[in-house]
Structures are given as structure tokens and as C-alpha cells.
């Protein structure tokens, strides 16, 4: 039996071999299919529908209102000052939080990379903010931490003679960013710590033998080695922080006024407080297109983590 | 060797050891200081949850007081139970579903890579880059039209989709860590595909599977946006409970702290126990 | 136990236009020990993996015990393999590692335990049966990998550089053990290595490969005495044979200020080709080093490597760029820069065609590269 088929495969490498190969290809692809189909159905079809709704004027509070309006919703979006504000706040929150969290995370990772008494416990304490439910974290920061009268932060700055500050109303964006940074610093720290610990020791020893100072070997060897970990951390952090909703919802509700309204929160308001489906959809499409543009540029220029990761395989 | 060290000028050896020791202590102190700052809000949350309400609002803040369980009793009496159950069900089932879908997919993208696996992998990751909010309108309308608003299955499906890309990516990295040689050894030893997977591959990737499950569980448990917009009473989860708690009970800090502690504690403890896997899991993809 | 036969086997990797294995034909008799040797990229590992069923052959056929196994899955070929990095299952104990193939073949638990213990005792690893691979040293891991192979009593052992991860001393020890074990079990063995010393000491017959093609397939002694071409001559033997390309005039070559008359059959063969150049090959052990004046080619010592029992003297010939290596007995205390005279045993000189690098003279008659496929 086996001999016969084998002979055919050898002597007739044409049609039959091709046939078998394509069938084998499908069998190989089979395990991928459920996940692929699921993802396409749940994530891609809604985006297509968003595109469709964005061309309609539709307010669910007014029954029977959907009708075709072409690009009217987009004209509204681009002439809406709140949209530009939301765009700006999205960038500020994402950029500010990820940058600060990554720098702090790098510092903490370097601290943790060296042995000292109770290192395990310190690491446990440091990762905790990441594990706290963001809704809970936002509430905590808004109340016990940042309250103008009873908040811990004001108590601490009082030691240095500073007058109490109403952070949430005076520095709303700063309050949001502080909370996000507190939650995402441990995340960045963990990724960078893994990077530091995955660093081959012999290279560092070689540098020391070559007479490099601690700073020089950090700059010349550790930092380049950390590059792909930094990229990964910034990328994953950005993906999540761009979508920040819970923190804003809990701390400021986008306010005061629209001072902390970012795109996710603005779309939410349009859809679920204004019931304006067409407008919300148009905002969504603009957000997606903007994200695609930024992500493509970022992936093509700065980030090599995906490309390198793939070519290694 | 030893003689060389002994004849070194000015008995440099003990002095250097002392300096290293002091350096180590300074280093540790800085690290501990940072850890205490970062952990303080968590500590304060737990501490406040045991305070009587009057002790929560003080300036300067109170560190010593008569601890009470009143706040926890109050939180439970507002009917937190169903929210907790909803969160648990949505998290557990969605994580199982994610693993069920992601593991074979990751296998097909790593160990026996299909043609154009690069594109498939990139597709999964790119869905993660698209903002969820942009899809909420049609999702809301679709779910409303098929009568699945305020139902746990809706959340399960969405949480699965939300975590699937990350899970595929992580699991793929774990599969890639399995040395190809041991698969060949298994084939020569007579293992068929099923045994190759159950006897050789899965035991090796099991810690990775745990790490993936944990990270997906964290994101599912903490998810707020879908839960807020797509549920109301029957199937609302813990984050929604926190919001409704604040709205209905007002901002009573001690009670609030108790509710926040209860909402966070499952993930917090799971994360503490599995922190080693967490580190590995998060750093995957950056490593070869 | 069975004979293994490669019949005109070729293998081309997807996306490559070069054949990794190029029309390979080889027969290993039942119970034989065949070594595939060659530099990296010679196709030796691919040839082994084709036999294991881990790579697909593009053309030709492979037979194990007379059965064509092309297209037969690895698990149905009844072979065992020892991998370069041992490929132990990290989550299984030593006993489970060794017994895994028996379990996969449905051998009862009782018999499995007995056979695992027997194999472990044979390899002196019975005290580690409950350990995990990561708790073992490199040498112990290597023996577990061996145990996994022998417990099967397969038709053939396939070994892919099994000693390359051991330190030098252990490598020699294990080499002896493998040879003993194979003699005792009489299992047909195909062994891949890049180390010509391993090939010479282990194999009944050695196949030398280069760029996917078989150069020569012969017993070790034959390879040493009668290499079919310059590549085999240079690859087999340590230190390497001196190979020098020289103009040929009137049946002799000039080295330094000396004219060396080549053996008659060499001159004859070269004359038939009408070539004006020849590659001469002289083994270091056939060069004698003399001090000062007298007979021989004047040369200057460049470097002396003294190994204790013998020494390798590297010397450059005056008026020529070529360096010669000579092997001398005992500890050689000559300093670099010393003037010496090299005497060459012309009768034991090899000659190779300057173009094809094929052996000239009597070499081509013995153990040819083009062994015809068995016409079974």
C-alpha cells in the first residue's frame, strides 16, 4: 500500500502531488480558521457597519429618523471644535502617559535588576497597580488621593508648605494622566525587566573587562538590547491607553467642560447620551482612519519589533 | 590569585567589599522607597475599607483606628453578589473560549506555519490597534436587534474577541519556544499528531498557557466600556457595580474602598501568585 | 536489524535551486556501521534526515530491509534517532523519556519498565531514572538519548553528531562506548559527523560527502590509503595532507630548488590527460625534517605544534609561497626561523588532476565514488 502511493508520488509529481499538497494546505489551515472567522465576524463587520451608519442621519431617540445624508456627518465632525479638542486630548493622554510610564518603568526595572534584600516583595508591591481594576483605581485616585481637603497627595505636599490644590478641577488632564501612569508603569516595568534579565551576562562582563563604566555599558549595550522591549512596551501601552475610557468616565466625565474629553469618551457621549448614531459612527470612522495612519507610520518607521520578530521565526 | 589580591595596595579588598555592601543597601533603599510609593494607594484602599466612615475623612489622614467590617457588610447588603457572579462567569468562559480558539490558531501560525502566516498574524494584531469605541455603535444596535442586550453571552463573545489577538500572539511565541528537535524525536518515537500534542507540546507550553489565561482574565475582569454600554441590571459586572454603587450610595470613602477592594482582590491575588508567568507572558514577542 | 539502502536519492529544499543531496547511492549491510562525514553544508545531515523521514526526498528511493520507505511516516519506519542536542522531553523523567517510544507502540507497562531498566543499566544511568533532563549533566543527557534509541530494538540507529556537545575527553570515552554498544547490539547504524577522526574510528565504512554529492564510500583504511580525489585526501587524516598545485614538466615537478621525479604511473596518468599542471599530495607523516645542509628541499620553520608524542612542523619552502606540514616523532624543540631540509617520500606521493582534482594513477581503481545502485 504505502509503497504504491509512494511510487506514484515519485513518478507522477504533477497533478496528483499538487492535489495532495493543496489538500494538506487546507488541513494545516484548519486550526486557524475558527479564530480567524470569529475575529472577522466580531471585529470587522461592525467596522463596516460603522462606515455605513456614518453616512446616515439617525438619532435613535427620534423613531424613524434614519435617512441617507452622504458625507454630511463628516462635514459636521470636521467643523466641530470639540472633535479637535478630543483629538488633542487623546494624543496628550496617550503620549504623556505612555512616555512617563515607560521612563518610570525603565527606572524601576533597572532597580529591580539588581539583587537586594526583599527584591521579590518589592516586585510584588510594584506590579500591584496594574492588577487593580481601572474603575476602582480611578475612584481611589479621585477621592482618597487627590481630594483637596482629605486627599493624601495634598497632605504630603503640605509637609513642604504647599497650599492644598483641587487637582481634579484645576488639573483635570494631569489627574487623568497620573492615574493612567500609576496603572501602566508596572506593565512597562515588567516588560523591560524581562528584557534586562534576558541580557547575556558575558557581554556585560566583556564590556567591564574592556574598561567600560557602568553608564557607558548601559548606554552602549543595555539600551540597544532593550530596544525591542521598549518598542513592545510602548506599542502595547499605546494600544490600551488610546482607548482610555474608564478613567475619564470615573474621574472627570470628560470635564470640566470638555477639558478631558478624548475620542472614546466623545463617541460614547454622542452615541449614548446624544443618541446620535450617524455622528458617533462618523467620529468612529475618523478615529479608525487616524489610528490606521498613525499605526502604519509608526510600524514602518520606528517600530521594528514585529518585523524582526517575524523574520526570526 | 590569592597572593596577588593580598599584596594589592592599601588592603583594597575589604574596602571595596564595604563599598559594594553600602551601595547594595542604598540601592535596596531606593527600590523599597519606590515600591512603597507605588503600593501606597493600594494599601490605603485596603486600610480605608476597614475604617468607620468618620475616620476616612480626616486631615491629617488616620493610620490608626478601630478596624470594622461594617463597610464590607454594607457593600454586600447592596447586592453585590450577582455582579460578582456575572464578572466571574464572563471572565472564566471568555478566557476558556479564547484559549480554545487561540491555541490551535497559534499552532497553525508557528509550529506548522501555513502559507501567508505573516499576514494572518498581522491581521490579528491589527484588530487590536483599532479603537473599540469605533465599533460600539453597530455592536450596540446589532445586540439590541437580536435581543441580547444585558446578557452575559454578549459580554463573553466581545471579551473573547477583545483578547483573542493578544492570546494568539502570546501563544505563538510560546509555541516557537518548543525546540523543533523534540517534535522530530516524538515522531520517530512513534507518536502520532495527537500524542505529539498531548505528550510533548502541551506540557512544554503549559506555563505559557497559564500566563496567557491570566492576562486575558485580567483584561476581561476589568473591562468597563462594553459592560457599561451593553448591560444594565441582569448581567452587569463588577466595574459597573462600582459605578452604580457610587451613584446610589454617594461618595462614602470607606464604603467605596471596601467595594473597590472586593472588586480588585481576585485579580490582585491571582496576579501576585502568578507574577513569574506574568513577566514571561508580557515579554513574549520581544524575545526570539 | 536490517540493511539500509539509498538508491539515487536527491533532495531539494523548497526555494533553493541547489540539490541538498545529489543522486546519492549507498548500501549499508545488515548490522553495519556507516558514517556520513563532510564539512558543514555537505548534505550529510539532510541525507540522515531523509532516512529518518524528517525530510521528503525529491527523487530516488530509500529502502530499509528491502522495503521502500519513501512517503512512509517517520513513526512507521521503525528506526531510532539520537539528536545533536539530544531532544529529550523536558517535562518527562529519564524513565519516561526512554520508555516513550514503547508507550507509543502500545508495549505493556510491565514490559516497558523492564526494558527501560535494562537499557538504563546498559548505559549506567539507572540511578537517574526519576530525574528530569535539566537535572542531568551533558554526558548523562547524551546517555539518556542513547537509551531512548536502544530500548526500541529498532531496525536502525540514526545518529546526528551525537558527540558534538560533549567536552573533548568525554567525547572520546563516549565514542568508545558507542562502538562497543553497536558491536554488541549488531544494529545497523548510520552516523553523521563532521569530525574525520570520529568517522575513521567508528565506521565500518565511511561515506565522504561534499556539496550534496558522494565523493567516496569505503572502509576507513581505504579512504586514507586511496582517496579518490583531492577533497577526500585533504579531508581525511590529521594533520591535513599537504596539497600543492605545481607545473608539470618532463615527468617531474619542482619544489624549491629540487626537482622531484614523480612515480611512473602518476606521470602516465597525467600524460594521458595532457595536463601541464598537477596537484601533488603528501601526507605530513611522509615528510621528514632534517637539520642544516644535505639532501632535501630547503625550508624555514614557521611554527611547531608539539603534542607530546609527536609534533607538527610547519615550514615554508624557499622560493615558494606554500607551507608544508611535517609530522615528527616526539617533542620537537626547533625554533621558528630555523633552516631545515624537507625530505619527501616520492613513492608515497599522491597526484591529482589539476582540473577535476580526481586521483591520478592507481587510486581510481579502488572504491570508486560511482558505486552503481544495487539492481535488486
For residue C197, pLDDT over 50 is answered with yes
Q: Which residues of B touch C77 (CB under 8 A)?
A: 188
Q: What percent of chain C has pLDDT over 70?
A: 96
Asked if omega into B60 is within 30° of 0 (cis), the reply is yes
Q: How far is C373 from chain B (nearest CA, A)?
A: 27
Give tens-digit pLDDT for B118-135.
788 888 888 887 778 888
pLDDT band at A1 (very low <50, low <70, confident <90, very high): very low
- Candidate from A44-58, A60-74, B88-102 with smallest mean pLDDT: A60-74
CA distance A270 to A263: 10
Looking at the predicted structure, is the pLDDT value of residue B161 above 60?
A: yes
| Chosen from C50, C71, C78 to mutate, greatest number of chain A CBs within 10 A | C71
Between chain A and chain C, the number of residue pairs with CB atoms below 8 A apart is 24
Which of A82-86, A217-221, C301-305 is the least confident region? Answer: A217-221
Rounded distance, CA B245 to CA B157, Å? Answer: 26
Distance CA(B93)–CA(B49), nearest Å, equals 30
Say what the pLDDT of residue B286 is. Answer: 46
| pLDDT recorded at residue C365 | 40
pLDDT for A303: 64
Pairing of strands C242-247, C277-282: antiparallel
Cα–Cα distance for residue pair B148/B145, rounded to 1 Å: 8
Residue B91 pLDDT more than 70?
A: yes
Higher pLDDT, A277 or A13: A277
Chain C nearest CA to B203, separation (Å): 6
Query: Best mutation site among C70, C73, C75 for testing chain A: the one with the most A CBs within 10 Å?
Result: C70
Q: Is B38 exposed, middle or buried (0-12, 13-18, 19+ CB in 10 A)?
A: buried
Instruction: Evaluate if residue C304 carries a pLDDT over 60.
Output: yes
pLDDT at C259: 83
Question: Smallest CA–CA separation between A194 and chain C, in Å?
Answer: 22
Q: Which of B247-270 are b and which e, b meaning 16 or more Cβ less than 10 Å from the residue's Cβ?
A: eeeeebbbbbbbbbbbbbebbbeb
Considering only CB atoms, A191 lies closest to which of B251, B270, B282, namely B282
Task: Identify the CA nearest to A263 among candidates B244, B136, B158, B247.
Answer: B136
> Does A9 contact C76 at a Cβ distance shorter than 8 Å?
no
CB contact under 8 A, C68 and A5: no
pLDDT at A2 over 50: no
Cβ burial of B128 (10 Å; 0-12, 13-18, 19+) is buried
pLDDT the model gives residue A48: 87
Higher pLDDT, A207 or C174: C174
Q: What per-residue confidence (pLDDT) applies to B173? A: 84
CA dist., res. A281 & res. C202, Å (int): 75
Q: What is the pLDDT of residues C142-189, one digit of tens each?
A: 999 999 999 988 999 999 999 999 998 999 999 999 999 999 999 999
Q: Flag if C54 and B184 touch (Cβ within 8 Å).
A: yes
What pLDDT was estimated at residue A305? 56
Q: What CA–CA distance (Å, rounded) separates A280 from C354?
A: 81
C140, C125 Cβ separation under 8 angstroms = yes
pTM: 0.81
Spacing of C-alpha C216 from chain mean position: 11
In this prediction, residues C222-228 reach a mean pLDDT of 93
- Indicate if the pLDDT at residue B285 is higher than 60: no
Alpha-carbon gap, residue B238 to B247, rounded angstroms: 14
The larger pLDDT score, comparing residue C96 to residue C347, is at: C96
- The grid coordinates of residue C35 equal 558514517
Share of residues in chain C with pLDDT > 90 (%) = 59
Read off the pLDDT of each residue in A229-242 and give the average, rounded to a whole number: 88
pLDDT score recorded for residue B4: 44
Distance CA A94, CA B171 (A): 27
ipTM of the complex: 0.85
pLDDT of res. C144:
94
List, for residues C18-57, the tens digit of each pLDDT value: 899 999 999 999 999 999 999 998 999 999 999 999 998 9
Average pLDDT, chain C: 88
- CB of C272 within 8 Å of a chain A CB? The answer is no
- β-partners of residue C59 are C10
Residue A52 has pLDDT above 80, yes or no: yes
How far from A25 is each of A69, C71, C342, CA to CA, in Å?
A: 46, 17, 65
Per-residue pLDDT at B3 exceeds 80: no
**Interface with chain B: mutation pick from A33, A121, A136, A156, highest number of B CBs within 10 Å:** A136
Q: Is the pLDDT of residue B17 over 80?
A: no
For residue A276, the 8-state DSSP code is B
Which of A247, A270, A227, A308 is CA-nearest to residue A96? A247
pLDDT band at A19 (very low <50, low <70, confident <90, very high): low
Q: Which one, of B214, C58, C185, lies nearest residue A131 by Cα? A: B214
Q: Between chains, do C87 and B184 touch, taking CB under 8 Å as contact?
A: yes
In chain A, the residue whose alpha carbon lies closest to the alpha carbon of C76 is A2
Average pLDDT over residues A27-54: 87
Of B161, B112, B109, the C-alpha closest to A37 is B161
Does residue C104 belong to the interface with chain B, where contact is any CB pair within 8 Å?
yes
Q: What distances in angstroms separate CA A104 from CA A99, A138, A185, A227, one per listed residue? A: 9, 20, 6, 16
For the cut 70, the answer to whether the pLDDT of residue B284 exceeds it is no
Task: Write down the pLDDT at residue A312.
Answer: 40
- Whole-number Å distance between alpha carbons of A249 and C367: 85
Q: CA nearest C51 in B: which residue?
A: B188
Taking the CA of residue B198 and the nearest CA in chain A, the distance in Å comes to 16
- Distances C235 to C196, C207, C348 between C-alpha atoms, Å: 7, 12, 18
SS3 track for chain C: CCCEEEEEEEEECCCCCCEEEEEEEEEECCCCEEEEECCCCCCHHHHHHHHHCCCCCCEEEEEECCEECCCCCHHHCCEEEECCCCCCCCCCCHHHHHHHHHHHCCCCHHHHHHHHHHHHHHCCCHHHCCCCHHHCCHHHHHHHHHHHHHCCCCCEEEEECCCCCCCHHHHHHHHHHHHHHHHHHCCEEEEEECCHHHHHHHCCEEEEEECCEEEEEECHHHHHHCCCEHHHHHHCCCCCCEEEEEECECCEEEECCEEEECCHHHHHHHHHHCCCEEEEEECHHHEEEEECCCCCEEEEEEEEEECCCEEEEEEEECCCCCEEEEEEECCCCCCCCCEEEEEECHHHCEEEECCCCEECHHHHHCCCCCCCCCCC
Is pLDDT larger for residue A121 or for residue B53? A121
CB B175 within 8 A of CB B106: yes
Query: ω before B141 within 30° of 0 (cis)?
Result: no
- Report whether pLDDT(B250) > 80: no
Separation of alpha carbons C344 and C224, rounded Å: 18
**Looking at the predicted structure, is the pLDDT value of residue A93 above 70?**
yes
Inform me whether the pLDDT recorded for B61 exceeds 70: yes
B187, C89: Cβ pair inside 8 Å? no
Nearest to A245, CA basis, from A81, A169, A146, A134: A134
pLDDT band at C233 (very low <50, low <70, confident <90, very high): very high
A50: cell is 460603522
β-pair type (C297-306, C339-344):
antiparallel
Q: pLDDT band for position B46 (50/70/90)?
A: very high
For β-strands C339-344 and C258-261, DSSP reports them as unpaired
Q: Give the residue-averaged pLDDT of B199-222.
A: 90
Cβ-contact C81, C102 below 8 angstroms: no
Among A6-20, C214-228, C237-251, C304-318, name the one with the lowest average pLDDT: A6-20
pLDDT at A7 over 50: no
Does A3 reach chain C within 8 Å, measured CB to CB?
A: yes
Chain C within 8 Å of A5 (Cβ-Cβ)? Answer: yes
Say how many residues make up chain B: 288
Rounded Cα gap, residues A150 and A238, in angstroms = 33
pLDDT, residue A18, reads 54
pLDDT on residue A168: 85
C75–B184 C-beta distance less than 8 A: no
Q: In the prediction, which pLDDT does A202 show?
A: 85
pLDDT given at position C370: 37
Mean pLDDT, residues B239-255 taken together = 83
Residue B1 reports pLDDT greater than 80: no
Lateral strand order in the sheet of C323-329: C287-291, C339-344, C297-306, C310-317, C323-329
pLDDT confidence bin for C367, thresholds 50/70/90: very low
Do the Cβ atoms of A67 and A53 come closer than 8 Å? no
- Average pLDDT of chain A? 82
- Residue A48 class from Cβ within 10 Å (0-12 exposed, 13-18 middle, 19+ buried)? exposed
CA-based nearest distance B211→chain C, Å? 18
Which backbone phi and psi does C242 adopt, to 5 degrees? -75, 120
Residue A287 has pLDDT above 50, yes or no: yes
Task: Report the residue from A25, A139, A243 with minimal CB separation from B131.
Answer: A243
Neighbours of chain A (3+ CB pairs under 8 A): B, C
Closest chain B C-alpha to A7 CA, distance in angstroms: 22
Task: Tell me what percent of the residues of chain B surpass a pLDDT of 90.
Answer: 33
Q: B8 in helix, strand or coil?
A: coil
Give the max Cα distance, chain A: 92
CA nearest C58 in A: which residue? A10
A94-98, B120-124, C24-28, C115-119: least confidently modelled range: B120-124
Contact A83, A283 (CB under 8 A): yes
In three-state secondary structure terms, B110 is: helix
The predicted structure's pLDDT at residue C108: 93
Q: For B112, which DSSP code?
A: S
Residue B241, pLDDT > 60, answer yes
pLDDT in tens, A130-172: 999 999 999 989 888 888 888 889 888 888 888 888 888 889 9
A149 shares contact with chain B (CB less than 8 Å): yes
Lowest mean pLDDT among A104-113, A271-280, B186-195: A271-280
Q: What is the pLDDT of residue B268?
A: 92
Mean pLDDT, residues A279-289 taken together: 88
Q: What pLDDT sits at residue A14? A: 40
Amino acid at each position: 500500500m504505502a509503497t504504491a502511493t509512494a511510487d506514484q508520488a515519485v513518478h507522477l509529481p504533477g497533478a496528483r502531488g499538487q492535489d495532495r499538497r493543496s489538500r494538506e494546505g487546507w488541513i494545516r489551515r484548519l486550526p486557524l480558521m475558527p479564530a480567524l472567522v470569529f475575529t472577522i465576524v466580531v471585529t470587522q463587520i461592525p467596522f463596516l457597519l460603522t462606515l455605513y451608519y456614518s453616512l446616515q442621519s439617525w438619532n435613535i431617540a427620534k423613531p424613524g429618523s434614519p435617512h441617507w445624508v452622504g458625507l454630511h456627518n463628516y462635514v459636521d465632525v470636521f467643523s466641530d471644535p470639540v472633535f479637535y479638542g478630543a483629538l488633542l486630548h487623546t494624543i496628550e493622554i496617550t503620549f504623556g502617559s505612555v512616555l512617563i510610564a515607560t521612563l518610570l518603568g525603565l527606572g524601576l526595572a533597572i532597580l529591580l535588576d539588581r539583587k537586594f534584600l526583599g527584591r521579590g516583595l518589592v516586585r510584588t508591591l510594584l506590579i500591584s497597580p496594574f492588577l487593580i481594576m481601572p474603575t476602582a483605581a480611578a475612584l481611589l485616585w479621585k477621592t482618597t488621593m487627590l481630594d483637596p481637603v482629605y486627599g493624601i497627595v495634598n497632605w504630603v505636599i503640605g509637609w513642604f508648605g504647599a497650599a492644598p490644590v483641587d487637582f481634579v478641577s484645576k488639573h483635570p488632564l494631569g489627574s487623568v494622566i497620573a492615574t493612567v501612569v500609576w496603572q501602566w508603569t508596572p506593565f512597562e516595568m515588567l516588560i523591560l525587566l524581562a528584557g534586562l534579565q534576558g541580557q547575556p551576562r558575558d557581554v556585560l562582563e566583556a564590556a567591564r573587562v574592556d574598561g567600560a563604566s557602568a553608564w557607558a555599558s548601559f548606554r552602549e549595550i543595555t539600551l540597544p538590547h532593550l530596544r525591542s522591549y521598549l518598542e513592545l512596551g510602548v506599542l502595547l501601552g499605546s494600544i490600551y491607553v488610546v482607548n482610555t475610557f474608564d478613567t475619564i468616565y470615573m474621574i472627570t466625565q470628560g470635564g470640566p467642560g470638555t477639558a478631558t474629553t478624548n475620542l472614546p469618551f466623545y463617541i460614547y457621549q454622542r452615541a449614548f447620551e446624544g443618541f446620535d448614531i450617524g455622528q458617533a459612527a462618523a467620529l468612529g470612522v475618523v478615529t479608525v482612519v487616524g489610528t490606521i495612519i498613525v499605526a502604519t507610520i509608526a510600524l514602518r518607521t520606528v517600530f521594528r519589533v514585529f518585523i524582526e520578530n517575524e523574520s526570526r521565526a | 590569585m590569592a597572593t596577588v589580591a593580598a599584596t594589592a595596595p592599601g588592603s583594597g579588598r575589604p574596602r571595596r567589599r564595604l563599598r559594594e555592601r553600602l551601595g547594595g543597601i542604598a540601592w535596596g533603599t531606593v527600590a523599597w522607597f519606590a515600591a512603597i510609593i507605588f503600593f501606597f494607594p493600594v494599601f490605603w484602599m485596603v486600610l480605608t475599607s476597614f475604617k468607620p466612615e468618620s475616620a476616612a475623612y480626616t486631615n491629617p489622614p488616620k493610620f490608626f483606628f478601630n478596624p470594622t467590617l461594617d463597610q464590607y457588610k454594607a457593600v454586600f447588603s447592596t447586592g453585590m453578589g450577582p455582579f460578582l457572579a456575572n464578572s466571574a462567569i464572563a471572565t472564566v468562559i471568555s478566557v476558556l473560549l479564547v484559549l480554545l480558539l487561540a491555541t490551535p490558531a497559534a499552532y497553525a501560525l508557528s509550529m506548522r506555519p501555513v502559507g501567508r502566516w505573516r499576514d494572518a498574524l498581522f491581521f490579528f494584531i491589527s484588530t487590536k490597534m483599532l479603537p473599540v469605541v469605533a465599533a460600539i455603535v453597530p455592536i450596540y444596535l446589532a445586540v439590541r436587534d437580536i435581543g441580547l442586550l444585558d446578557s452575559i453571552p454578549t459580554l463573553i463573545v466581545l471579551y473573547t474577541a477583545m483578547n483573542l489577538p493578544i492570546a494568539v500572539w502570546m501563544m505563538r511565541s510560546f509555541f516557537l519556544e518548543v525546540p523543533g528537535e523534540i517534535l522530530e524525536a516524538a515522531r520517530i518515537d512513534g507518536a502520532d499528531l495527537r500524542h505529539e500534542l498531548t505528550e510533548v507540546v502541551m506540557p512544554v507550553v503549559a506555563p505559557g498557557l497559564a500566563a496567557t489565561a491570566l492576562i486575558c482574565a485580567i483584561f476581561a475582569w476589568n473591562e468597563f466600556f462594553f459592560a457599561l454600554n451593553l448591560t444594565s441590571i441582569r448581567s452587569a459586572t463588577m466595574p459597573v457595580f462600582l459605578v452604580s454603587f457610587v451613584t446610589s450610595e454617594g461618595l462614602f470613602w470607606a464604603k467605596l474602598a471596601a467595594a473597590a477592594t472586593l472588586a480588585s482582590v481576585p485579580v490582585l491575588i491571582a496576579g501576585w501568585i502568578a507574577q513569574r508567568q506574568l513577566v514571561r507572558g508580557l515579554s513574549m514577542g520581544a524575545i526570539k | 536489524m536490517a540493511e539500509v539502502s539509498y538508491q539515487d536519492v536527491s533532495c531539494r529544499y523548497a526555494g533553493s535551486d541547489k540539490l541538498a543531496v545529489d543522486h546519492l547511492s549507498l548500501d549499508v549491510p545488515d548490522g553495519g556501521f556507516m558514517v556520513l562525514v563532510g564539512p558543514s553544508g555537505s548534505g550529510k545531515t539532510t541525507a540522515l534526515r531523509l532516512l529518518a523521514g524528517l525530510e521528503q526526498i525529491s527523487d530516488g528511493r530509500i529502502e530499509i530491509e528491502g522495503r521502500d520507505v519513501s512517503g512512509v511516516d517517520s513513526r512507521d519506519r521503525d528506526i531510532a534517532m539520537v539528536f545533536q542536542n539530544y531532544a529529550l522531553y523536558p517535562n518527562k523523567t529519564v524513565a519516561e523519556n526512554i520508555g516513550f517510544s514503547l508507550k507509543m507502540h502500545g508495549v505493556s507497562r510491565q514490559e516497558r519498565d523492564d526494558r527501560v531498566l535494562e537499557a538504563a543499566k546498559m548505559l549506567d544511568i539507572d540511578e537517574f531514572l526519576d530525574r528530569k533532563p535539566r537535572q542531568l549533566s551533558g554526558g548523562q543527557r547524551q546517555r539518556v538519548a542513547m537509551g531512548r534509541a536502544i530500548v526500541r530494538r529498532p531496525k536502525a540507529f540514526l545518529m546526528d553528531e551525537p558527540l558534538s556537545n560533549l567536552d573533548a575527553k568525554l567525547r572520546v570515552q563516549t565514542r568508545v562506548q558507542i562502538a562497543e554498544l553497536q558491536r554488541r547490539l549488531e544494529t545497523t547504524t548510520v552516523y553523521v559527523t563532521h569530525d574525520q577522526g570520529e568517522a575513521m574510528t567508528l565506521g565500518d565504512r565511511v561515506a565522504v560527502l561534499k556539496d550534496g554529492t558522494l565523493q567516496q564510500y569505503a572502509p576507513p583504511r581505504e579512504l586514507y590509503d586511496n582517496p579518490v580525489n583531492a577533497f577526500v585526501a585533504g579531508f581525511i587524516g590529521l594533520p591535513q595532507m599537504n596539497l600543492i598545485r605545481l607545473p608539470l614538466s618532463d615527468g617531474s615537478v619542482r619544489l624549491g630548488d629540487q626537482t622531484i621525479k614523480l612515480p611512473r604511473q602518476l606521470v602516465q596518468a597525467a600524460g594521458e590527460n595532457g595536463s601541464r599542471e598537477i596537484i601533488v599530495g603528501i601526507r605530513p607523516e611522509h615528510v621528514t625534517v632534517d637539520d642544516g645542509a644535505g639532501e632535501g628541499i630547503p625550508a624555514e620553520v614557521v611554527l611547531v605544534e608539539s603534542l607530546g608524542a609527536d609534533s607538527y612542523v610547519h615550514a615554508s619552502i624557499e622560493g615558494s609561497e606554500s607551507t608544508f606540514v611535517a609530522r615528527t616523532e616526539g617533542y620537537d624543540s626547533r625554533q621558528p626561523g630555523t633552516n631545515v631540509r624537507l625530505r619527501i617520500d616520492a613513492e608515497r606521493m599522491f597526484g591529482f588532476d589539476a582540473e577535476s582534482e580526481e586521483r591520478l594513477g592507481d587510486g581510481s581503481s579502488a572504491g570508486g565514488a560511482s558505486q552503481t545502485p544495487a539492481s535488486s
